[in-house]
């Protein structure tokens, strides 16, 4: 190319427009509309629950969240006075869900590690099927199993824990009644959320970059040394995300908890004792005989539950998307 040739001007890129045909426009319109139905439904849920629960929020104010009582009294004139406070149930929700996550995460991580790094191929396929199966069990099955099979054993364990560790507040009990306790509800929830956490953990562990794994082995690491140095740091984010997904599931669990927990309106941190509750199962419990005012309050409770799970799931999905799907 000779130096003194005049430089050619670089043309501006042409704008390429394709006007979609009418049939395609209709197609796109229909599909898009239906996709937004998800948004519509979520908005409607919030809207209608708010509508019904509005009076409750107005009358109770912030007390709806912070009060402990749930009473309604109708006098001879049909005037109903009520005091609705969710705090006991909110505390209960947090207690049993936290317990569930606390037990489920180590078990799930161990299982995921076993599946990814230790299990022989054939065994792995069976185990993965079993865990997926667990996710498909109906929650009322967990309720039945939890009550009739797990509870007798769990009561025995609770007695043991109380005997040896009862000097710690949470393991102490005001009376020796151990059935239908937050401990047992927590155990049932543990079993229900293990499949979720395990499958997320498994996905992130299996994405561990091979070159880092090889680097660790080439330095003379044992398998566990490699896992500690490479897999766990890499997978930590994914495990956290999976745990939060499990937490969200635990928040909203209804019939399984209802079957194995004695719902009482007191904040109870003594998990071995037969007193507890969560918002979802309380709604079921009160629904049957609820006065119209109470129905409104239950709707309000449902709204609170809705937002709780929404927030937790949002955070969880953000973490999972950033760590698992993109493959750090």
Partner 1 sequence: MSQAQISTATPTRPWTPTVKDRLMTSASVLLAVLSDVLIVQLTPMKGKIAYFFLFFILWFLIDSIFVYRSKGQKGVRDALAAKVTLFGGVIVVMVVASILWETIHRGLKGVNFKFFTTTLRETSLFDPIGSGGIAHAIVGTLMLIAIAIIFAVPMGILTALYLTEIKGKASGLIQFLVQAMSGVPSVVAGLFIYAAIILNTPLRSSAFLGGLALTILMVPTVTRTAQEVLNLVPRDLREAGLAMGATQWKTVALVVVPAARSGLITATILGVARIAGETAPLLFTVGVFDSYNFNPFKGDQGSLPTVVWRGLQGGTPESIQRAWSTILALLIVVLIMFVIARAFGTRQMKRK
Partner 2 sequence: MSENITKNENGTIMSDQDKTTTPSSLSDVAGARAAGASRVGTRALGTGLEARGVHAWFDKHHALADVSLDFSAGTVTALIGPSGCGKSTFIRTLNRMHEFIPKTSMAGQVLLDGKDIYESGIDVTKIRLQIGMVFQKPNPFPSMTIGENVLSGLKLAQLKVSNQSELMEECLTRAGLWNEVKDRLGAHAGGLSGGQQQRLCIARALAVNPKVLLMDEPCSALDPGSTLRIEETISELSKTMTIVIVTHNMQQAARVSDYTAFFLSDGGPGQMIEVGPTNEIFSRPKDTRTENYVTGRFG
The residues binding partner 2 (CB under 8 A) are: 209, 211-212, 214-222, 225-226, 229-230, 233-234
d(CA 301, CA 305): 6
Structure tokens at 242: 């999976």
110 binds, among partner 2, partner 1, none (CB under 5 to 8 A by kind): partner 1
Phi, psi of 108 (to 5 degrees): -70, -40
Q: Is 294 helix (H, G, I), strand (E, B) or coil?
A: helix
102 binds, among partner 1, partner 2, none (CB under 5 to 8 A by kind): none
107 binds, among partner 1, partner 2, none (CB under 5 to 8 A by kind): partner 1
Q: Which does 218 bind (CB under 5 to 8 A by kind): partner 1, partner 2, none?
A: partner 2
For residue 64, the partner it binds in partner 1, partner 2, none, with Cβ less than 5 to 8 A by kind, is: none
Decide if 266 contacts 68 (C-beta within 8 A).
Answer: yes
Work out what residue 200 binds among partner 1, partner 2, none; the CB cut-off runs from 5 to 8 Å by kind: none
d(CA 118, CA 290): 54
Report which DSSP code applies to 83: E
Are 181 and 274 in contact, with CB atoms under 8 Å apart? Answer: yes
Which residues are CB-contacts of 249 (< 8 A; sequence separation ≥ 6)?
192, 193, 196
Pairing of strands 70-74, 80-84: antiparallel
- Which distant-in-sequence residues (6+ apart) come within 8 Å of 175 by Cβ? 273
- To partner 2, the closest distance from the beta carbon of 229 in angstroms equals 6
Q: Is 77 in the site for partner 1 (CB under 8 A)?
A: no
The total of other beta-carbon atoms located within 10 Å of residue 218's CB is: 8
For residue 201, state whether it binds partner 1 (rule: CB under 8 A).
no
Pick 40 or 73: Cβ nearer partner 1: 40
Instruction: Tell me the window of 69-77, 137-145, 174-182, 235-243 that interacts with partner 1 (CB under 8 A).
Output: 137-145
Of 231, 50, 200, 220, the residue nearest 132 (C-alpha): 200
Distance in Å, CB of 225 to partner 2, minimum: 5
The minimum distance between CB 2 and partner 1, in angstroms, equals 42
Does 164 bind partner 1 (CB under 8 A)? Our answer is no
Asked whether position 115 contacts partner 1 by CB under 8 A, the answer is yes
Is there binding between residue 165 and partner 1 (CB under 8 A)?
no
């Amino acid at each position: 190319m000779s130096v003194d040739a005049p430089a050619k001007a670089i043309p501006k890129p042409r704008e390429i427009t394709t006007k979609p045909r009418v049939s395609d426009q209709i197609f796109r319109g229909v599909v898009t509309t239906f996709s937004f139905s998800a948004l519509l439904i979520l908005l409607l849920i919030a809207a209608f629950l708010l509508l019904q629960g509005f009076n409750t929020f107005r009358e109770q104010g912030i007390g709806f969240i912070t009060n402990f009582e749930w009473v309604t009294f109708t006098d001879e004139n049909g005037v109903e006075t009520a005091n609705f406070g969710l705090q006991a149930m909110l505390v209960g929700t947090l207690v049993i869900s936290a317990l569930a996550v606390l037990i489920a995460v180590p078990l799930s991580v161990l299982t995921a590690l076993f599946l990814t790094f230790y299990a022989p191929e054939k065994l792995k396929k069976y185990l993965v099927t079993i865990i997926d199966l667990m996710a498909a069990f109906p929650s009322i099955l967990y309720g039945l199993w939890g009550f009739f099979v797990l509870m007798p054993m769990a009561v025995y364990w609770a007695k043991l824990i109380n005997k040896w560790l009862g000097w710690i507040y949470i393991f102490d009990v005001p009376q020796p009644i151990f059935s239908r306790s937050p401990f047992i509800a927590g155990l049932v929830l543990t079993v229900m959320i293990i499949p979720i956490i395990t499958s997320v953990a498994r996905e992130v562990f299996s994405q561990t970059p091979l070159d880092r794994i090889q680097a660790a082995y080439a330095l003379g690491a044992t398998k566990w040394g490699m896992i500690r140095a490479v897999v766990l740091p890499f997978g930590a984010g994914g495990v956290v995300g999976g745990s939060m997904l499990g937490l969200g599931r635990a928040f909203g669990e209804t019939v399984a908890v209802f079957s194995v927990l004695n719902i009482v309106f007191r904040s109870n941190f003594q998990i071995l004792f037969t007193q507890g509750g969560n918002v979802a199962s309380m709604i079921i419990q009160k629904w049957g005989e609820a006065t119209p005012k109470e129905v409104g309050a239950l709707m309000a409770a449902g709204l609170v539950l809705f937002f709780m799970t929404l927030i937790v799931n949002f955070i969880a999905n953000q973490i999972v998307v950033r760590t698992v799907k993109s493959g750090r």
